[in-house]
Amino acid sequence: MFSFVAYPYPKSDSYKEILLSSITAGLLIYIFLIVFQPFGTESFRHQYKYLLLFPYSVIFGSVFFAAELSIIRFRDWNICSELLKVAGILFSASILSYFYNTLFISHVTLSFSNYLYMFLYCLALGIPISTIYILSRYIYLKRTHEKTAEEVSQQLADHHSLIVATLSKTLDISANNTDLQIPEENFICAQSMENYCSIYFSENGQVRKLVVRISLSNLLNQVQTDSIKKCHRSYIVNLSQVKSLKGNAQGYRLFLSDIDFAIPVSRSFISLIIPKIRSLKV
């Protein structure tokens, strides 16, 4: 159970996608109200009935939008975080819906018991809509990342050898008693392990791994170039060595020519790494 709620969940950084998905969620609320007319809506008689129901759509859509904007800067997001966000959305929407209903439709006295009814109504209506919202965005982001990964992988296959041949800078790495000089095109990647870094590079056609006592940030200052970038809190990668990448709902993983493990791209680095890979292959 705990491993399930800790599973990473995608979080969009696109304001356009957030706006469109929030509008869609609000419209689904409205469609549900006018089609099924639950919670006594069917017996509600008013010449502007459907117009009076529309603000519920605005309330839910606005709360979804505000919630997504409030979490856009969070780097790590998982299923537990997503469920807590949805709970907050339903709670906030229930309060706003209650005041709207009381002041503009039912005109009853404000009371906690009446609010509880509205809260239960919002749960009954919001849970299925939120489920659709969560699943549809998961599928959308997954397909978006997969499509981008496929396009970039094709570019990598077409231009890899040309890009590697253009690199000529020598990297000077100094750490404690270690002094290392590596041609830029031979640097593959580096992985952080607390106070140490494992540096992978090619030498005489063979891949070497050297463990050095140095922080990843210090190493980055010494090796960063136009093609060598940090892509994760634990990884530095030579983007010219990337032979393919795969995308899923959580993001991207880079596959390099001479190592047998994938390198993750943190959500906060996607906007830097993916365009950079594309520009290197043009």
| Cα separation, 280 vs 57, whole angstroms | 45
Domain boundaries, the chain: 15-155, 162-280
DSSP state of 75: S
pLDDT at residue 166 in the model = 54
pLDDT at residue 1 in the model = 46
pLDDT at residue 238 in the model = 92
What pTM, to 2 d.p., does this model score? 0.72
Residues 6+ apart with CB under 8 A from 186: 201, 202, 203
Residues in the chain, pLDDT under 50: 1-2, 162
Q: Are 192 and 240 in contact (CB under 8 A)?
A: no
Q: Are 237 and 229 in contact (CB under 8 A)?
A: yes
Q: Residue 173 phi/psi, 5° resolution?
A: -115, 125
What pLDDT, in 10s, does the model give residues 207-265? 999 999 999 999 999 999 988 999 999 999 999 888 888 887 677 899 997 888 999 99
123-150 b/e with 16+ CB inside 10 Å = b? Answer: eebbeebbeebbeebeebbeebbeebbe
Task: Please give the CATH topology (third level) of the domain spanning 162-280.
Answer: OB fold (Dihydrolipoamide Acetyltransferase, E2P) (2.40.50)
